[in-house]
Amino acid sequence: MYAARLIHELPRRMRFRLLPPNGKRIDCDDVKACLESREGITEVRVSAVARSLTIHHDGARGRRDQVALAVARLPSPSATETSASDRHLCLKPSEEISPALSGLILLASPFLPRPLAAAITWLNIAPTLLLGARTLLDRGVKVEVLDALAVGVSAWRGEYPTANTTQFLLRLGEYLQNSTERRSEDLVKSLLLPLPTHAWVERNGTLIRTPTSAIAMGDLVEVGTGDPIPVDGEVVEGLAMVNQASLTGESLPVAKKPGDGAISGTLVTEGRIRVRAVRVGDHTVIARIGHFITDSLRAESTTQRLAARLADRRVLFTFAMGAMVFAATRDPRRMASTLLVDFACGIKISTPVAFKSAMYLGGTQGILFKGGEAIENLALADTFAFDKTGTLTSGRLEVTGTRLFDPKWDESRLLTLVASLEEHSTHPVAAAIVQEANKRALPHMRHGVVDLVVAHGLQSTMDDQPILVGSRHFLEEDSGISFQEHDAILRELTETGHMLLLVARARRPLGLIALRDHLREETVAVLRDLRALGVKRLIMLTGDHRLKATQLGEALGMDAIHYELVPGDKHHIVQQLKQAGARVALVGDGINDAPALAAADVGIAMPGGAELTRNTADIALLRDQLTAIVEARRLAMNTMELVRNNFRIALGVNGAILSAATLGALDPVATSILHNGTTLAILLNSLSGIDMSREHSHTVLGRMRGIGSHLKEWIRHADE
């Protein structure tokens, strides 16, 4: 474990000296992850260089001791070195010299004796010089080297106001960039409220306040107004209004009564309920989403990697321009101005900020993206393949009617018999029949022991007569009971899209129950909207037989219909589409969809899907509505348009600044102001401009013009 010592404390803030064991480096990412999930902690900042840990909390009673205990229990850092992609979560060494201190030095230096001003200036810029030297030795010519050369040249020439002004602007720009990047991280993490550390659990008829980690499956948990639900389960008692916005994006609380499901991480806003725990700990919805978000923050997209490579090449270009300017003019001041133009910040940092902002906005709408790669691939997808059941359709079967083959029986008696047997099964068909019987308030019918025949049906006895319920294959081919004389009725119902449950008594046909899965209300509109958003091909994948599948597919205007599929077929079809050059997005929910989701360019899992499906998908929907797919596609396209605009603006504007600096039209101070203003405008645009339409995509230019006018006014007054 870390050795931690409290070195400073305010009512809602605590600062610790953090010492990792055996001289290891502080793993900033793990420290933040361990602490930010704690109840009452609002912000965590870590500096690996200063070995400092600062924690802001809500100041609740006992919170100070809880924070101190959490810090004392921080796990040891891993043996591996923290990766470069993770280290950006730590404060950079240069942040230890704050913009405020650098600004005070800038204001004071003109009034100090020249020798003292020189000493303070060199102390002020020392972190930048040291960082530049380390970077040059470790990584070659990077932006830190350019910054060090620029301020070093000004100080070496005795231009202390210029050196201090440039240093202040560098620190201010870096501080704003890091703050913006951390803000984008915090936005994504804020999607989930931490679960309570304790909950009220019934033990031997008495409610006991129990640690959440000690709750077991089957426990009864009581949750009242203002409390988050700590487990996934079923409401068994009480009535409450529950806010599910953090998970489903629903704007209004929903009523929960006995028999309804309860989801961890949702908040009881009114009332009190008791929930029987079905999933606890890492198996809950909130825990799985937490893992999904953690993975998302670590994932990098192709665009991010391209931006990083392009930014690094631009650093070399700037360095070469500075060297050529000095060789041609022998003017160190002009060279310093040239070196201060950094393309890297606007290109490299704004791209992940844009992706994380989109991830946050998607999360508020019930759409979870697993990193920038998922956003990028969804925007580029030209082919959408849909599993039928549970995706294009609701997945919830309903009884549409019955047919009787024995005149001595009536419809209610047949439904009563089948429901009495099917209540022993958990199959969706059984659930639909039992629900219909309950709706009609039908009584229970006495019967013998029920034997479930997997994937076929069930069998039992009534009045010493055998009863069989199941598919036609089960009754005819396996049990030898012929329904041939009723073939016309069976064929008519099958062709109209019904699922049939046949019933036989005393080895003779008794009747059937017809069920149907309904098309979602929004399906047609969603398919139309996807085409409007540039999708070229829509494909339906189903295990249904040919006639039923083609009827539905043609009605929906599908470009291709694949039917009678076995589990491995969907994966094979996705691979064929990709080999033909298509960029495939697959939408599914079943376990058999998992291989195809993994093979697709981007896999989208519906909320009712299996656990394996959600783990495999690149995008997880928390709302059981197909409209979320359209929203995700539109958000992804707007994000990529924003990233492209940022590229164009960063290259164009910084290119213009670089040209002016090389021609001597800008001094180092003006160059730094314009460059940092441009970078800040791009970052702010990435953070807040995701939901803008293409017509408003030039908002960043308006922001930059406003910043530029203020900066020019500031320079004019400084010159006077």
- Domains of the chain as residue ranges with CATH: 3-89 (3.30.70.100), 216-279 (2.70.150.10), 382-600 (3.40.1110.10)
Q: Averaged over 687-699, what is the pLDDT?
A: 46
Given this model, what pLDDT does residue 25 score?
Answer: 72
Q: How far is CA 564 from CA 428, 467, 491, in A?
A: 20, 30, 17
Choice among 30, 312, 342, 387 that is catalytic: 387
Q: Which of the residue ranges 96-105, 319-328, 711-720 would you say has the lowest mean pLDDT?
A: 711-720
Residues 6+ positions from 584 with CB-CB distance below 8 Å: 381, 383, 384, 385, 574, 577, 578, 600, 601, 602
Summarize pLDDT for 76-85 with one digit per residue, the tens.
664 433 333 3
Band of residue 711 on the pLDDT scale cut at 50, 70, 90? very low
**In angstroms, how far is the first alpha carbon of the chain from the final one?**
58
Q: How far is CA 543 from CA 234, 519, 563, 565, 594, in A?
A: 31, 16, 5, 4, 15
Nearest to 635, CA basis, from 384, 364, 391: 364
Q: Are 77 and 30 in contact (CB under 8 A)?
A: yes
Examine the pLDDT at 600 and tell me if it is beyond 70. Answer: yes
- For 441, other C-beta atoms within 10 Å of its C-beta total 6
- The total number of residues shown for the chain amounts to 720
When the pLDDT of each residue in the chain is averaged and rounded to a whole number, the result is 80
Band of residue 490 on the pLDDT scale cut at 50, 70, 90? very high
**Does 219 qualify as catalytic in the annotation?**
no
Given this model, what pLDDT does residue 715 score?
Answer: 36
Examine the pLDDT at 295 and tell me if it is beyond 70. Answer: no
Task: Look at residue 386 and give its three-state secondary structure.
Answer: strand
Q: Are 175 and 98 in contact (CB under 8 A)?
A: yes
Q: Averaged over 149-166, what is the pLDDT?
A: 80
Q: Averaged over 249-259, what is the pLDDT?
A: 75
Summarize pLDDT for 190-200 with one digit per residue, the tens.
555 556 677 89
Q: Averaged over 395-403, what is the pLDDT?
A: 87
Q: Averaged over 321-327, what is the pLDDT?
A: 85
Most confidently modeled range among 175-184, 404-413, 418-427: 404-413
Q: Are 458 and 425 in contact (CB under 8 A)?
A: yes
Q: Are 34 and 41 in contact (CB under 8 A)?
A: no
Higher pLDDT, 476 or 23: 476
Given this model, what pLDDT does residue 77 score?
Answer: 65
Examine the pLDDT at 672 and tell me if it is beyond 80. Answer: no
Band of residue 442 on the pLDDT scale cut at 50, 70, 90? very high
Residues 6+ positions from 182 with CB-CB distance below 8 Å: 89
Band of residue 695 on the pLDDT scale cut at 50, 70, 90? very low
Q: Which of the residue ranges 82-91, 378-387, 424-433 would you say has the lowest mean pLDDT?
A: 82-91
Examine the pLDDT at 215 and tell me if it is beyond 50. Answer: yes
Given this model, what pLDDT does residue 585 score?
Answer: 95
> Which tokens hold the place of 633?
């596609």
Given this model, what pLDDT does residue 430 score?
Answer: 87
Summarize pLDDT for 222-244 with one digit per residue, the tens.
998 878 888 989 999 999 988 77
Summarize pLDDT for 604-618 with one digit per residue, the tens.
988 765 555 566 788
Summarize pLDDT for 98-132 with one digit per residue, the tens.
677 877 887 887 888 888 988 998 988 888 889 88
Given this model, what pLDDT does residue 210 score?
Answer: 86
pTM of the model: 0.64
How far apart CA 271 and CA 225 sit, in angstroms, is: 6
Nearest to 634, CA basis, from 713, 695, 551, 690: 690
Given this model, what pLDDT does residue 539 score?
Answer: 96
Residues 297-333: b if buried by 16+ CB within 10 A, e if exposed: bebbbebbeebbebbbebbeebbebbeebbeeeeebb
Given this model, what pLDDT does residue 703 score?
Answer: 41
Percentage of the chain modeled with pLDDT above 90: 27
Q: Which of the residue ranges 20-34, 263-277, 355-369 would you say has the lowest mean pLDDT?
A: 20-34
Q: Averaged over 380-406, what is the pLDDT?
A: 89
CA angle 558, 561, 566 (to 5 degrees): 145
Given this model, what pLDDT does residue 299 score?
Answer: 59
> Which tokens hold the place of 392?
């294009």
Higher pLDDT, 472 or 669: 472
Summarize pLDDT for 520-538 with one digit per residue, the tens.
889 999 999 999 999 999 9
Given this model, what pLDDT does residue 707 score?
Answer: 38
Examine the pLDDT at 214 and tell me if it is beyond 70. Answer: yes
